[in-house]
Structure 1
Amino acid sequence: MRTAEIREKYLAFFEEKGHLRLPSFSLVPENDPSLLFTSAGMAPLKPYFLGARPLFGGREWRRVVTCQECLRVGDIENVGRTGRHNTYFEMLGNFSFGDYFKKEAILWAWEFLTSPQWLGLDPGRLWVTVYEDDDEAYALWRDLVGVPEERIGRFGEDENYWPGGAITHGPNGPSGPCSEIFYDRGPAFGTPDETGPNTGSGDRFVEIWNLVFTQYDRQGPIPGPGILKPLPQKNIDTGMGLYRVAAILQGVEDFYRTDTFYPLIERVALLSGKPYEGKASVSHRVIADHIRAVVAALADGVVFANTGRGYVVRRLLRRALRHGYLLGLQEPFLHRLAPLVAEALGDFYPEMRENLPAVERQIGLEEERFLETLEGGLRRLDALLSGLKPGEVLPGQEAFRLYDTYGFPLDLTVEIAAERGFGVDTEGFERAMEAQQERSRAAMAFEREIFKRSAQVLEELYAERGATEFLGYGALEAEGTVLALLAGDQSLSEAGPGTEAQVVLDRTPFYAEGGGQIGDFGFLEWPSGRARVETTQKTEQGLFLHRARVEEGILRVGERVRAVVDPARRDTERHHTATHLLHAALRAVLGPHVRQAGSLVAPDRLRFDFTHPEALTPEELERIELLVNRWILADFPVTWRYMPLEEARREGAMALFGEKYGEVVRVVRVEGGPLPGLESKELCGGTHVRRTGEIGAFLIQKEEAVSAGVRRLEAVAGEWAIRFARGSLNRLKALAERLSVGEAALEERLEKLLQELRAREKEVESLKARLVQAELKGEVALLEKGGLRYGVVELSGVDPAALRQAADDLVQRGADVALVTSGGQAVLKLSPRAQEGGLEAGALFRALAARSGGRGGGKGALAQGAGLDPERARKALPELLP
């Protein structure tokens, strides 16, 4: 039975039992900062386990079934080394939020697994386990299902409580006893113990199902004995391992040979010429597992980065590349596997197919970058490990230098060192890393302490008065009462002239910074005074903080003020609506893989970061700009309304990456589009124009890279677009006048000047080379050491190209080793005779740099670098020759 068929049977079975079938949630968790990735089927549903009403499509559903894609990297070192571990997997789950409980969950699990209509597994090969104190579950399995007592095991909290060991060790939150179902694969896979699963040897017993009876809220110290408080409702959280069941039903030894993994392994074997057997099979499995995780994460909008989710995905790709390197694959190859992943999973996860072209490009670019790093880092690490004696540990400072200089990840250093029989001082690595970050960390700690004191005042205020009422969607002026004045960590009763304070009002027209839009600025006015508001922010509870400086009079708590937003807000609104149109235009021109990765909306400009693997062409930029301006010229209405989050998603509203949303959201929509089917509809709390025509005009100023897979556009709208266009035309005219040509002939004139400049540069380079040759003829004396002739020359005012030419000249004149320096730059060149004698330019240069300062490297006959002390290098070179 194919994996896709098992998945569909499970979902259909529980639909027949009254469950709502939901699509998989994103791998990127929404509104859950505790998780980098969705790591379990229940993770996106946590609020409903705690008692929130499970509303889907406007209707309350107490029974839900999903196939959830998950990503875990906690035991990444075991991936590939066993047939049980992997990072990206699919978890089948049926859930009950205060509806059915243990009896139904147990009966339905058994029915699905054993009924010929569904999976048809042999009941005699199924074993179950329960929590040691769960007599109810034990009795249900024995008396209602009919499982013999000898095939029911009782285990403690480490094995049969979820999360494992939570009672004693945490974490706090929803928890409960669980009951697991194991499949006995027979004597060929290991030896059973009398007590059954969890104690036998080998891989004979495979856990295929875990029924979690979520009935407690674990609270208390961590670590330490927790308190189990009954949840408001008893819940069911079931997880069935799709790939493990597929391996059983397909009659293969592990999931790596199932239909969703093995095509990848076969392709790797074909590309590398290394069959899937022996030690090499570990690399095959690592590559097959990791490329699935990388494709899934990128398809869900993650981009390669040095922190957070992006770093995890980058680490997976680099680990897969390194195993490809072990198989002899020294060119980018992972992007060629991405279509196989999309083919296997794209029917159920359509974003994999929709975003495949962009995913392939992102992977290909990242491969090219890292293979350069990998080669240099591997050479350096090999040299370091070769200098260690058996049992020694690679110093942490060296591991950090590999990371800092070569971008070589610590986990790869540890893994490669372990394969060679060496350890790595990871604590020393962390100390080196910490020393580099100490200043910024100290500054952040100070800011957190200040915020902590202020936060206490704000929490008390919120408890007493509630959130600030925002009036800015319909007005730029309003009256409000001062509820609090904060300065640093102090709460003030009044603020006089020159005092800067955070002013909290009960109601305000000032928009607080959020969703990329800057906070409003303007004035607070009262009968005897005035304060300038420089920006506006808000707390998580919704209290607006107006950062203001008192200019006249005394501002007191309880004062009635008139809050006046600067009219520049209208320009901000033009840029914000233009940002929405730009987002839609980017997706229309580049593809649905485009997702927002950051933005800034200000009165004078907008900045928009988005996922895309390569620079935009002039033609693409022109099409995007034209689409936005067509929206503007059509003068479509811009409307917004509040609706349930699920309804907004169902209607196709775009949610902005990184933003938090409640159950009710504000959806901003442009009522029309420049192309059939093209629309702009986004979840947004910002302020906007009423009609697109108010934007006036839209011009893109520049496009650039932010990081791997993320591009940035900067643009202007309204009056700022007109200013930008006029300024550009004025500069063009002034340039033409300086060159004494008409504007139409400017490009031709510039090209002619560039050609003349290039010709002059060639003449200068030729002259430099002749001068260098003349200087060499006059002062170079070749010395000899160990049968090799060497020469050291210091030149003045010479660039690296001329240095390389001088080194070549020295070798042609008979030097076996030529070292030429100029202003700290250095080039080392070896003759074929020197190489045949065992010298390698890169190794020799690094050894020279170690004695005379500087840095650099190379390979073969040529190496170069900077920072060498010429006199020390002159003395050190003969000492390093054999």
Structure 2
Amino acid sequence: MRTAEIREAYLSFFEEKGHLRLPSFSLVPENDPSLLFTSAGMAPLKPYFLGERPIFGGKEWRRVTTCQECLRVGDIENVGRTARHNTYFEMLGNFSFGDYFKKEAILWAWEFLTERLRLDPNRLWVTVFQDDDEAYAIWRDLVGVPEERIGRFGEEENYWPGGAITHGPNGPSGPCSEIFYDRGPEFGTPDETGPNTGSGDRFVEVWNLVFTQYDRQGPIPGPGILKPLPQKNIDTGMGLYRMAAILQGVEDFYRTDTFFPLIEEVVRLSGRPYEGKASVPHRVIADHIRAVVAALSDGVTFSNTGRGYVVRRLLRRALRYGYLLGLSEPFLHRLAPLVAELLGDFYPEMREHLEATVRQVRLEEERFLETLEGGLKRLETLLSGLKPGEVLPGKEAFRLYDTYGFPLDLTVEIAAERGFGVDTEGFQKAMAEQQERSRAHMAFEREIFKRSAEALEELYAERGATEFLGYTTLEGEGEVLLLLAGDQALSEAGPGTEVQVVLDRTPFYAEGGGQIGDFGLLEWTGGRARVETVHKTEKGLFLHRAKVEEGVLRVGEKVRAVVDPKRRDTERHHTATHLLHAALRAVLGPHVRQAGSLVAPDRLRFDFTHPEALTPEELERIELLVNRWIMADFPVTWRYLPLEEARREGAMALFGEKYGEVVRVVTVEGSPSKELCGGTHVRRTGEIGAFLIAREEAVSAGVRRIEAVAGEAALRFARGALNRLKALSERLEVGEAALEERLEKLMAELKAKEKEVQSLRARLVRAELREGVALKEKGGLRYGGAELPGLDGSALRQAADDLVARGADVALVLSGGQAVLKLSERARERGLEAGALFRALAERAGGRGGGKGALAQGAGLDPEKALKALEDLL
């Protein structure tokens, strides 16, 4: 059976058993900060295992089945080396939330395996937890598995989480039962105790049934107490790729129909044959590109932290293995369309976002390959200087990471291949030292916050969250509930005191969702305080950072809170940000997702996922689309909805944001814009007035930034640009229509003059080389070097050629931080290589660079040290 047929057979089978079939959840967990990626089939369903009502499509479903895409990197070093480890994989699962339990789960698993998939029952072995007599009896008496094929094991093997009874964690847990398939003696030898102890890959675990029936409580570590849960749950998982290998009769999943086409393409690109287990690079590349494409298709972008770092690490690791196969040019982006072809029927986002994925992968490859070669050569130099048994110092490993972007795991792997270790503790120490300064300056702030938090907790317990009035008004009355200065709670604050004020109700918006906090005034009889900004605690208390200007502000005082009218400009920019987001997705594609924003009275800044710079035509289309929506004067509405209902309606949510059960949905009627947002907005788009894009630029790999202006700020921006254009045309004494032509003519004239100057300078240099640079001889080779100010790269190379023409076998010329090294044919015949010699010079004289054959070039060399080093190295 093909992998797709196995997947469909499983989901259909459990639909027949009354389960709701759900599509795969995203690889990026929603509202689960404990996970970087969805790593198990049950992970997106955690709330329902913990007792939340499982509502899907407006109906409660106690039985669910899924094929969930998962990503794990905990055992990444084993990927490619064993038949059991993947980074990206698909887990088939059937789940019960307080409905059926052990009997049904066991019987249905056996029915599916033996009747639907027609596996030989005599080749199936099972294991149970040593104290689970109930499961043991079901397997033996109802299913009919012989006792000799039922193994009983302890909590490390057959309890979830593994070892939880003794070692924790506290919380839901339970025994589990595993099903193994015996592949036969050609895959290893069995042991009389069962499948957990055989050698080789003979026994393959294909199914795990977890019976979540206890609440583990007690000390950790220590013997826990298992209290029965009021709701017993079933969490099962069947490995799709392991089953595919069995049913397709191949040695492991790398030979199955969703993997092997990728390996064949790696063979074609590299010219290196695939030899099964020995071909680790082929296997790693096939595995990792699947994971990269899946993650990018779900909105992850390459970065140096979090999920983006994990995906970057996978791509770089695949590139490193490609390098071992002789693939020194970008090649992974050529595999991405094949991944989408193999998996896109079930994961359509891979095809929808393919174009953007290919661009992101290609750009990331190019960036890394620029540093990979330099890092590899630097590492080679370091390793060649080690003696047998020595380890690479941690500081050097960190320098490779810091300078070349060379991941520690690659350094460890390469060093291991050469028989050396790496001081990973020293690496971590060097990393920690670099971060120490930033940690130190935050320590005092954390302590202040800790003490202030106690007062805020007490206030919240007594009075609840601050009531926000600002959606409908810029003014309102409130009572002062708390005054904070540093870590002290004050009863009053006099003139000049900077204080954080908590009111019971306020029209001031607290910074959040990209929108800046409001500023304005607090007024009371006999006094006034100026509010600089507003922040909000996690539980919803608004902190007005203010400075008392007149009078004394006291706890219990009734104040009039007045927001500065510039808030209306902020609202224009906030609604314009939503329209910009919608326009970007309309013009560039659905892969565009928000990656950060700033909304202020004078401008907006919007970061979004996109792999390359926008063209002028794209920017013009985006700007025009936003302005058309503005001129249409569409109503801007908002309402509160349950989170699940808002998602079903297509409201955009942000990765990493925490949302409650009820969310605020802001909709621009008549446009595609519908987002979860707590910010303030205009009432109709016509209030925005106008929208102009000021600039577009890169933020990081795969993330772009647009800065724009709206309303009066847009008018000021346009008037400023027109004034500058007029002044420039007057200065050049041409009409505005002819300004571009005049500039091009001036630039052409300037370029011609520069060329003429360079030609003159080159002639002078040649004369200086003939008269002032004496060639020396060492070891039968003639060499010469000189520092020649004012030359560009082309003239510098010509000067090196001239020295060789004069008879130099080795010529080194430097100018303005640049350096060129040229070798004669005689020097190359004597075994010299320009790139190696240049790197040796850089080791002694600083700088960087490289080359090959007869020519090398670079920058940053100290001229005096370089010329001296040249003599020493020959």
Give the match for residue 787 of structure 2. 794
Helix, strand or coil for the counterpart of 2:117? coil
Q: 1:739 maps to what in 2?
A: 732
2:16 and 2:230 map into 1 onto residues whose CA distance is: 27
CA pair 393-709 structure 1, distance change in 2 beyond 3 A: same
For 2:673 and 2:135, how far apart are their aligned partners in 1?
A: 52
CA deviation after TM superposition for structure 1 residue 589, in Å: 0.8
Whether the 8 Å contact between 1:700 and 1:714 is mirrored in structure 2 is yes
Partner SS state of residue 198, structure 1: helix
Superposition pairs for residues 753-792 of structure 1, below 5 Å?
Answer: 753-792=746-785
Quote the residue 1:717 is aligned against.
710
- What letter matches 1:79 in structure 2? V
Find the aligned partners of 1:527 and 1:94 in 2 and give their Cα distance.
66
Secondary structure, in 3 states, of the residue corresponding to 1:331? Answer: coil
Letter in 2 for 1:715: A
* Structure 1 residue 327, shift from structure 2 partner: 1.9
Determine if contact 2:466/2:503 at 8 Å carries over to the other structure: yes
What corresponds to 1:459 in structure 2? 457
1:30 matched residue in structure 2: 30
Q: Which amino acid aligns with 1:53?
A: R
Question: Secondary structure in 1 aligned to 2:196?
Answer: coil
Q: Deviation per CA, 1:589-628: give whole Å up to 9, x if none.
A: 1111111111111111111111111111111111111111
Tell me the distance in 2 between the aligned counterparts of 1:30 and 1:424. 37
Instruction: Report what 1:302 is aligned to.
Output: 300
- Alpha-carbon distance in structure 2 between the residues aligned to 1:466 and 1:137: 49
Q: Secondary structure at the match of 1:348?
A: coil
1:554: which partner in 2? 552
Identify if the C-alpha distance between structure 1 residues 280 and 200 changes in structure 2 by more than 3 Å, giving closer, same or farther.
closer
Change (3 A) 1:378 1:220: farther
Within 2, Cα distance between the matches of 1:393 and 1:709? 36
Q: Is the 8 A contact 1:645 1:664 kept in 2?
A: yes
Change (3 A) 1:853 1:3: closer
Superposed CA deviations along residues 243-269 of structure 1, whole A, max 9, x for unmatched, are 111111122121111111111112212
Identity of aligned residues (%): 88
C-alpha distance in structure 2 between counterparts of 1:566 and 1:581, whole Å: 25
CA contact (8 A) 1:792 1:820 kept: yes
- Does residue 878 of structure 1 match 2:836? no
Map 1:611-690 to 2 at 5 A: 611-673=609-671, 679-690=672-683
Alpha-carbon offset, residue 318 of structure 1: 1.2
Asked if structure 2 preserves the Cα contact closer than 8 Å seen for 1:772 and 1:802, the reply is: no
Unpaired runs of at least 5, structure 2:
none
Q: Kindly tell me: are residues 279 and 198 of structure 1, through their superposed partners in 2, closer, same or farther at Cα, counting changes over 3 Å?
A: closer
Counterpart residue type for residue 328 of structure 1: G
> Aligned partners of 1:323 and 1:510: how far apart in 2?
55
Residue 133 to residue 290, structure 1, CA distance change in 2 (3 Å):
same
Code of the residue aligned with 2:53 in structure 1: it is: R
Offset at 1:173?
Answer: 4.0
**Which piece of structure 1 moves more, 60-69 or 615-624?**
60-69
TM-score (norm 1): 0.96
CA contact (8 A) 1:11 1:67 kept: yes
State the SS of the aligned residue for 2:128: strand
* Equivalent position of 1:342 in the other structure: 340
Rounded Cα–Cα distance in structure 2 between residues aligned with 1:186 and 1:320: 33
Q: Which amino acid aligns with 1:575?
A: H
In the TM superposition, what are the counterparts of 1:231-310 in structure 2 within 5 Å?
A: 231-277=229-275, 281-310=279-308
Mean alpha-carbon deviation: is it higher for 173-182 or for 18-27? Answer: 173-182
CA distance in 2, matches of 1:620, 1:800: 36
1:233: how far off?
Answer: 2.2
CA–CA distance in structure 1, aligned partners of residues 550 and 47 of structure 2? 49
Q: Distance in 2 between matches of 1:576 and 1:530?
A: 29
2:588 corresponds to 1:584 = no
**In the alignment, structure 1 residue 816 sits paired with structure 2 residue 809:** yes
Question: Residue type of the partner of 2:5?
Answer: E
The reply on whether 1:695 has 2:688 as its aligned counterpart is yes
Name the TM-score, length of structure 2 as normaliser.
0.97
- Write the distance in 2 (CA, Å) between the matches of 1:748 and 1:218: 79
Residue by residue, what CA displacement relative to the aligned partner does 1:825-880 show, whole Å, maximum 9, x if unpaired? 44332222222212223332333333344444443333344444444434332221
Contact 2:82/2:277, CA 8 A, preserved across alignment? no
Return the alpha-carbon distance in structure 2 between the equivalents of residues 228 and 493 of structure 1: 50
2:146 matched residue in structure 1: 148
* Corresponding letter in the other structure for 1:300: D
8 Å CA contact 1:819–1:828 kept in 2: the answer is yes
Partner Cα distance (1:374, 1:220) in 2: 50
**Deviates further, 122-131 or 616-625:** 122-131
- Tell me if structure 2 keeps the 8 A contact 1:50–1:232: no
Write the mapping of 1:499-538 to structure 2, written as runs, cut at 5 A: 499-538=497-536
Query: 2: CA distance between counterparts of 1:748 and 1:875?
Result: 51
* Conserved 8 A contact 1:40-1:91: yes
CA distance in 2, matches of 1:489, 1:178: 50
Amino acid at match of 1:661: Y
C-alpha distance in 1, partners of 2:222/2:507? 49
What's the offset of the Cα at 1:355? 0.5
Q: Secondary structure at the match of 1:711?
A: strand
Count of residue pairs brought into register by the alignment:
874
Change (3 A) 1:433 1:834: farther
The alpha-carbon deviation at position 801 of structure 1 amounts to: 4.4
Are 2:382 and 1:384 aligned?
yes
1:846-865 correspondence to structure 2 within 5 Å: 846-865=839-858
Q: Which amino acid aligns with 2:24?
A: S
5 Å-filtered alignment, 1:51-450, equals 51-115=51-115, 118-218=116-216, 226=224, 228-277=226-275, 281-450=279-448
Within 2, Cα distance between the matches of 1:879 and 1:740?
60
CA distance in 1, matches of 2:230, 2:487: 39
User: What are the superposed Cα offsets for residues 808-831 of structure 1, whole Å, 9 maximum, x if unpaired?
Assistant: 222221112222334654433222
- d(CA) in 1 for partners of 2:825 and 2:676? 67
Q: 1:761 to 1:229 in 2, by over 3 A?
A: farther
- Using the alignment, how far apart are the partners of 1:606 and 1:647 within structure 2? 30
Distance 1:552 1:289, change over 3 A: same
How far 1:230 sits from its partner (Å)? 4.5
Cα–Cα, structure 1 residues 573 and 221, in superposed 2: closer, same or farther, change >3 Å? farther
> Structure 1: which 5+ residue stretches go unaligned?
674-678
- Give the superposition deviation at 1:90: 0.7
Counterpart CA distance in 2 for 1:231 and 1:278 is 47
Cα 1:753–1:173, aligned 2, differ >3 Å: closer, same or farther?
farther
**CA shift for structure 1 position 225:** 5.0
Maintained 8 Å contact 2:531/2:545: yes
**Partner-residue secondary structure (3-state), 2:279:** helix
Deviation at 1:793, TM superposition (A): 1.8
Q: Letter of the aligned partner of 1:84 in structure 2?
A: R
For residues 276 and 183 of structure 2, the distance between their equivalents in structure 1, rounded to whole angstroms, comes to 23
Deviation at 1:474, TM superposition (A): 1.4
SS of 2:640's partner is: strand
1:806 is the counterpart of 2:780: no
Kept in 1, the 8 Å contact 2:80–2:277? The answer is no
- Rounded to whole Å, the distance in 2 between the matches of 1:593 and 1:795 is 51
C-alpha distance in 1 between matches for 2:238 and 2:545: 53
Q: Report the CA distance between 1:725 and its aligned residue.
A: 0.8
Aligned-partner Cα distance in 2 for 1:134–1:485: 59
Q: Does the 8 A contact of 1:51 with 1:232 survive in 2?
A: no
Aligned residue type for 1:765: Q
Partner of 1:676: none
Q: Secondary structure, in 3 states, of the residue corresponding to 2:272?
A: coil
Q: CA shift at 1:581, angstroms?
A: 1.0
CA-CA distance at 1:488 after TM superposition: 2.1
CA offsets, 1:30-79, max 9 Å, x none? 11111111111111111222222222223222222111110000011111
Determine the C-alpha separation between the residues in 2 that align with 1:3 and 1:278: 20
Query: Structure 2 CA distance, aligned partners of 1:694 and 1:91?
Result: 50
- What is the CA–CA distance in structure 2 between the aligned matches of 1:824 and 1:583, rounded to whole Å? 44
